[in-house]
Amino acid sequence: MDARVSIIPEPMAATDVQPVVDGVTAALIRKIVHVDMDAFYASVEQRDNPELRGKPVVVAWLGNRSVVCAASYEARRYGIRSAMPAVSAKRLCPDAIFVPPDFVRYKAVSSAVREIFQRHTDLVEPLSLDEAYLDVSENKLHLPTATRVAKMIREQIREELNLTASAGVAPNKFLAKIASDWKKPNGLFVIQPHEVQSFLLPLPVGRIPGVGQVTEKRMKAFGIATVGDLYSRELSALENQFGSYGLRLYQLARGIDNNPVMSNRVTKSISAEDTFAEDIPLAATEPQIRLLAEKVWKSSGGNARAAKTVVLKLKTKEFHSLTRSLTPPAPPASCEELASIALALRERIQLQPAQLFRLVGVGLSNFQTADDPASPLFLEEPRETSR
């Protein structure tokens, strides 16, 4: 399976839009830093409990349907990865120490990290509790380069919080994210604007954020193994094969990503999705829906109760997306309840039983704010989109 969990913030306010000069977006060469804490939850546990240091630590609830929230680097040596079932982790390393997640503590540490970021820039876009994009084109300490900013942030995190972070520095978000992963853990990697093509073209397509194992395999079947292979394809060929994602791939192969860093956004939705290794009929999707519900529940870090709407997303073999959503009278109070709502939404997909699906996703959206009481029961109109 090819699992992705995403936390989608509110869309940016109109004032955040980049200035436009003669129809061209200005300041496209930005200085972006992507900071990613190393094995975050597991590192916090090891930091706070000396007995866990140097040992394989798995942050997960133990249970048949639980998934790994984080694994220490010692545990990763056994092949343990986050988002894998906890039972698989146990099988890979029976001696691993399982620690139940403590999101309240992780959130507090995350806020301390955010405070460090904000000494350098207010343009901070968190992706999750442990990673964020920073636009440091202008930075508060007036350091001359983004590399200097990234170095100082890493030092401050190490000295003040006793944790390590990896950072990537690049002219845009897409490249900065690849760069932060390049020297992980505890590394810094810089991609200068003139190095983009030579760095990018030899990379396997699986390095592109969003291209998981399954998509990578499908691309290989079309003769696309590296970013260079992707670069050599016509836009129309990519669009035929991958729908509107084709344009994004075409641009990424050229190192183009004009998405600005969007700060001050409130979480709007949390979702997780899996692309199946083989396309499957609707009736066979229940185990995945249950697993995804659990991932979403955990990613919400205890905040799931504040989400008013449950969303089920499916993508057909032919890349048509379908979404069904429900806003129940009260937000789901347990992971089981979230899973059963998602499964009930599945009943509202009315296609031929023979229809095959390539992807399923479960999400929570429409997060409640303090001054916004829960809305009464209503069923949203089914919305179908294709991409």
Q: Which is nearer to Mg ion, 126 or 246 (CB)?
A: 126
Q: Which of residues 40-59 bind Mg ion (CB under 5 A)?
A: 40
What is the total count of residues that contact Mg ion (CB under 5 A)?
4
Of 62, 40, 60, 42, nearest in space to 52 by CA: 42
Contact window for Mg ion (CB under 5 A) among 35-43, 284-292, 301-309, 369-377: 35-43
Write the DSSP symbol of residue 85: B
Q: Does 294 bind Mg ion (CB under 5 A)?
A: no
Q: Measured from the CB of residue 69, what is the shortest distance to Mg ion in angstroms?
A: 11
What are the DSSP E strand ranges found in 106-248? 124-128, 131-135, 165-170, 188-190
Cβ atoms of 255 and 237 closer than 8 Å: no
Choices 29-37, 152-160, 246-254, 341-349; region in contact with Mg ion by CB under 5 A: 29-37
Helix (H, G, I), strand (E, B) or coil at 303: coil
The residue among 71 and 345 lying less far from Mg ion, judged by its C-beta, is 71
Give me 153's structure tokens.
């942030």
Q: Min. distance of Cβ 335 from Mg ion in angstroms?
A: 23
Least separation in angstroms between CB 350 and Mg ion: 40
Measured CA to CA, the distance from residue 85 to residue 315 in angstroms comes to 24
**Among residues 42 and 341, whose Cβ is nearest to Mg ion?**
42
CA distances 1 to 85, 242, 249, 356, 358, Å, are: 12, 19, 21, 16, 11
Q: Which is nearer to Mg ion, 82 or 327 (CB)?
A: 82
Q: Which is nearer to Mg ion, 137 or 186 (CB)?
A: 186
**Least separation, in Å, of the C-beta of 47 and Mg ion?**
15
Binding segment for Mg ion (CB under 5 A), chosen from 33-41, 173-181, 215-223, 353-361, is 33-41
CB environment 85-118: b (16+ within 10 A), e (fewer): bbbebbebbeebbbbebebeebeebbeebeebbe
Query: Minimum Å distance from CB 70 to Mg ion?
Result: 8
Spell out the alpha helix ranges (H) of 281-375.
286-299, 335-346
Taking the C-alpha atoms of residue 223 and residue 229, their distance in angstroms, rounded to an integer, is: 7
Nearer to Mg ion, 184 or 320 (CB): 184
Active site residue 131: yes
Binding to Mg ion (CB under 5 A): which residues in 76-135?
130
CB of 38 to Mg ion, least distance (A): 6
Which residues inside 128-187 make contact with Mg ion, applying CB under 5 A? 130
| Residue 93 identity (one-letter amino acid) | C
Overall size of the chain counted in residues: 387
Whether 34 contacts 178, CB under 8 Å: no
Q: Binders of Mg ion among 303-362, rule CB under 5 A?
A: none
Find the binder of Mg ion among 3, 5, 34, 36 (CB under 5 A).
36
Which residue in the list 45, 74, 125, 131 is annotated as catalytic? 131
**Active site residue ranges:** 131
Which residues sit at the interface with Mg ion, rule CB under 5 A?
36-37, 40, 130
